[in-house]
Structure 1
């Protein structure tokens, strides 16, 4: 019993519950899915050959890559300057802008997709305004095309690009840019040579997250795109719903997974600027081969040095007229970005109070009829109650298991911690349709397809990951000397955790629980695969969007758009209470 007793005292044991859930529901099925794609035990690539032999499959594959690359590029082009301007703002304004980015990030993706359906539809907001003004004779084709898909996808993914960039940019020392300017570098040169290389980790994280999620997009392309804009995830979902050929489905899923793995391997390389250092010897060798060019260059630089010095001195104390215009451009850019992120939800909220039989903006008169229709309809309220039950169950399970795993990982050896953290992050770094297919197989093995327990386990796969990430980030700032001090006072491990560690990491735990609930409450793709006859609120919304476009959805979407505000208030109050508790816990100095 001695070795077992020692093993039980190791922190790594705390990660066992989390990895048990991930392994049974997702890990082992993904291996089974891979073997199925290879026709195990015969082991052949016939399923992959069949996929690439179909020209339509190859077209959908390249179309998926194209849409994902373009959407990611647009997010980077808009997100990078937005993040830069947010970090450059004053502290209060920066906090306000980050909150404005977080609100759409926490809002249901299905609700935001529905908002764009209402805005871009043939009788949507834009067409109605243009028709009323007499600018167009007939509605424009703004929906069911590639442009509408890009608008919807970028709107959903833009916060996921901005937030990692802001996180990295806030840690950059601003004096580095000032030092570069003091050495005579122009603003763009200082930015390109000093600031931008330091932001590459944020660029890499944002691009990777956005691209991988875009690969697995299912709802938005199907709701806003036409038949020519189908993604591979839509193709896989159609295979699941019609001819359930598991070999072909597995091959399609692993082709999509292979693309994500290639991008992950490329962006996982060190692109922090060290490659440029490796080029320096080549440049030196070039100057040795062409001494005349190097000598001429140095001579011209020496001739231009007095002029550059005089010009730099003149510019140093000159009033910056150009900076005022750049400030105006920056303000306009941030305002337009925030308008793009928040306007769709605002439109839905206003239109949900309309009194007519159809949605109009602005509504001719105000009424609560669509909210009464929602709360008086047992189908809607039943779906809402199912989502709440699942969300609470998933939040409890994921918070307990994820917190234990995060605590165990924080006390584990660095190399082992890095490996285990990568395994925990797998469910949210893979295309969601692949995760859904693997989870489907896992629940089939457990006999839980079409049950609430199965749905809760399926939702917990991603929720556990969010809890681990958030709690681990909180534990990274935790002072281990506090635990050591408690143990020196003869407090046991459990008492130390409950009395010292838990109160200090409580904001992270609550934040993880909220994100776990949101992830479960907003889940559509996995729920559609494993839910069977069970209808959650997002699934009910999706069914209505595809079939009848009941205006009641506007009331549901408006409620989902207001939820993030409640979450942020709850997080703020929790953080404030934690800070006040920490201040009261400080010893009062005596004289």
Structure 2
């Protein structure tokens, strides 16, 4: 399942990222935001959206029945097909974002140079652009594959009994028999698979591996093989035409070598619809005025939202999630910021090793991390306590904070600190008056990611809650498994709108930070 989901994500994400990078600046920013919204949206809410769409009385079956194309509902859910759709929908942004980041760093003049030397568009792409984009392909594929190994919620909600993955088996062992030997062995198998894959494919991300295959491919096409002889003969026959074509395109290489076509625009629209349509369906259905969820709604009503706010159990779960999320945000932001600051001051080799260990909770399968946290908290007697849940969530949130703050510190000019110290500022004063104000936008963005990570956590929470602490995602997950309560549509719509609110907060924070950054640059100690 992980291999198929990763391959499907790569097939969809690579042309999407390629077209996003080729778009104008404004269109590119809009498309990146549209990718970020589902990426930041609760995975549980997106899984529930596919339950509503693919169910026996879901959107697709109801539409086909009304059109008279089928006489009975199709089996679109509780099978492998539904698992693939749900996993690809959740992991596609994780594949797109690294590809976009890598492709934006590729010098477009290299493509122009290839075109000016007579290379056709596909040849310039295949021989120049694609090898340079292999680091993004490698990192995105590794990240998607390893995360898919530990998927639990989506296969359990959309798959059948024959589609149970190893993570489902581990969670069942924790809840039912509690066989520590089987739990540890199963988790170690997943850990070993993830470790081997990262060891084999994740060591060199510089792109040299992607270029190393070029001499082999050239020899196979032009060496002693019969196909190579045929290729050279055809090339000699078409040499005059290619020479004339090269002269006409000689002075056209400086422009934009990539442009959108109707087919490309249609493909991007399809991918964006695939990412956003399920969330829009859930939001629309949450305002249904009928006794059951329906799309389109027969009437407009806020009954499911009133049902949510009038139910003490839902409100208690929401309050628990907010309390834990705020505590996790405070702890992980402080620890992660200090860790990132310390890493930026260490030697590169030591920094790489330490960063690898810090990022382990978000690079290894989440079920493996959850089992390790469960066994550790069990020894400490913190299972079923708020402190235990906060510590469990903070382990992953700290990794997100380190990633974001480290990226901010990478662009930080340390000469400003040296200037402050030369004016007799102490280390603490320099950090609080110079460094901290300049990296504040990165810290705010990191704290947002830390809160979202805690607020959306289900797998680790289900292991360490001790059947006594129920967060909002955990209560929502139990309702999905036991009964399809229409109130869940209101909860899912609120979780879907939450990332939009956070993106607005981040935009305002970064926008307001510009004047402050300019003032700090002009006078570091004021």
- Provide the TM-score with structure 1 as the length reference: 0.83
- 1:270 aligns with 204
CA distance in 1, matches of 2:368, 2:100: 30
- 2:492 aligns with 557
Q: How far off its partner does 1:247 sit?
A: 1.0
**Mapped pair 1:87 → 2:87:** no
- 1:169 aligns with 103
- 2:397 aligns with 463
The 1:308–1:211 alpha-carbon spacing in structure 2 relative to 1, beyond 3 Å, is same
User: More deviation in 293-302 or 542-551?
Assistant: 293-302
Q: How far off its partner does 1:147 sit?
A: 0.7
The 1:365–1:270 alpha-carbon spacing in structure 2 relative to 1, beyond 3 Å, is same
CA distance in 2, matches of 1:262, 1:347: 40
- 1:108 aligns with 42
- 1:576 aligns with 511
- 1:9 aligns with none
SS at 2:288 equivalent = coil
Q: Deviations over 1:345-383 (max 9, x none)?
A: 111111101111100011111111101110110000000
**Mapped pair 1:539 → 2:471:** no
Q: How far off its partner does 1:243 sit?
A: 1.4
Instruction: Say whether the 8 Å CA contact 2:383–2:465 is kept in structure 1.
Output: yes
**Mapped pair 1:418 → 2:326:** no
**Mapped pair 1:354 → 2:288:** yes
CA distance in 2, matches of 1:353, 1:393: 33
Q: Deviations over 1:138-171 (max 9, x none)?
A: 1111111111101100000000000011111111
Instruction: Say whether the 8 Å CA contact 2:116–2:249 is kept in structure 1.
Output: no
Q: How far off its partner does 1:244 sit?
A: 1.3
CA distance in 1, matches of 2:259, 2:136: 28
Q: Deviations over 1:320-361 (max 9, x none)?
A: xxx999610111011111000001111111110111110001
CA distance in 2, matches of 1:498, 1:345: 41
Q: How many residues align?
A: 517
Matches within 5 A, 1:19-58: none
Q: How far off its partner does 1:230 sit?
A: 0.8
Residue 127 of structure 2 is aligned with which of 149, 171, 193?
A: 193
CA distance in 1, matches of 2:465, 2:34: 33
CA distance in 2, matches of 1:497, 1:576: 22
The 1:253–1:305 alpha-carbon spacing in structure 2 relative to 1, beyond 3 Å, is same
Residue 142 of structure 1 is aligned with which of 49, 73, 76?
A: 76
Q: How far off its partner does 1:295 sit?
A: 10
**Mapped pair 1:228 → 2:175:** no
More RCO (CA 8 Å, sep 6+): 1
- 1:23 aligns with none
Q: How far off its partner does 1:275 sit?
A: 6.8
CA distance in 2, matches of 1:149, 1:282: 37
CA distance in 2, matches of 1:205, 1:101: 18
- 1:310 aligns with 244
The 1:284–1:120 alpha-carbon spacing in structure 2 relative to 1, beyond 3 Å, is closer
Matches within 5 A, 1:435-474: 435-474=369-408
Q: How far off its partner does 1:283 sit?
A: 7.8
**Mapped pair 1:528 → 2:462:** yes
The 1:296–1:242 alpha-carbon spacing in structure 2 relative to 1, beyond 3 Å, is closer
- 2:312 aligns with 378
CA distance in 1, matches of 2:217, 2:63: 61
Q: How far off its partner does 1:299 sit?
A: 8.3
Instruction: Say whether the 8 Å CA contact 2:220–2:228 is kept in structure 1.
Output: no
Q: Deviations over 1:108-155 (max 9, x none)?
A: 000000000000000001111111122211111111111110110000
Q: How far off its partner does 1:240 sit?
A: 1.2
Which segments of 5 or more consecutive residues in structure 1 lack a partner in the other structure? Answer: 1-66
- Provide the TM-score with structure 2 as the length reference: 0.93
Q: Deviations over 1:6-57 (max 9, x none)?
A: xxxxxxxxxxxxxxxxxxxxxxxxxxxxxxxxxxxxxxxxxxxxxxxxxxxx
CA distance in 2, matches of 1:559, 1:472: 31
CA distance in 2, matches of 1:124, 1:168: 39
CA distance in 1, matches of 2:225, 2:157: 63
- 2:329 aligns with 395
The 1:445–1:98 alpha-carbon spacing in structure 2 relative to 1, beyond 3 Å, is same
CA distance in 1, matches of 2:99, 2:303: 42
Q: Deviations over 1:199-219 (max 9, x none)?
A: 111111110110011000000
SS at 1:199 equivalent = helix
Larger-Rg structure: 1
**Mapped pair 1:486 → 2:391:** no
Q: How far off its partner does 1:587 sit?
A: 4.0
CA distance in 2, matches of 1:231, 1:293: 45
The 1:490–1:223 alpha-carbon spacing in structure 2 relative to 1, beyond 3 Å, is same
SS at 1:383 equivalent = helix
Which segments of 5 or more consecutive residues in structure 2 lack a partner in the other structure? Answer: none
Residue 53 of structure 2 is aligned with which of 92, 113, 119?
A: 119
CA distance in 2, matches of 1:427, 1:181: 44
The 1:216–1:274 alpha-carbon spacing in structure 2 relative to 1, beyond 3 Å, is closer
Q: How far off its partner does 1:384 sit?
A: 0.3
The 1:587–1:326 alpha-carbon spacing in structure 2 relative to 1, beyond 3 Å, is closer
Q: How far off its partner does 1:291 sit?
A: 12
The 1:175–1:463 alpha-carbon spacing in structure 2 relative to 1, beyond 3 Å, is same
Q: How far off its partner does 1:300 sit?
A: 7.4
The 1:569–1:251 alpha-carbon spacing in structure 2 relative to 1, beyond 3 Å, is same
The 1:274–1:201 alpha-carbon spacing in structure 2 relative to 1, beyond 3 Å, is closer
The 1:129–1:501 alpha-carbon spacing in structure 2 relative to 1, beyond 3 Å, is same
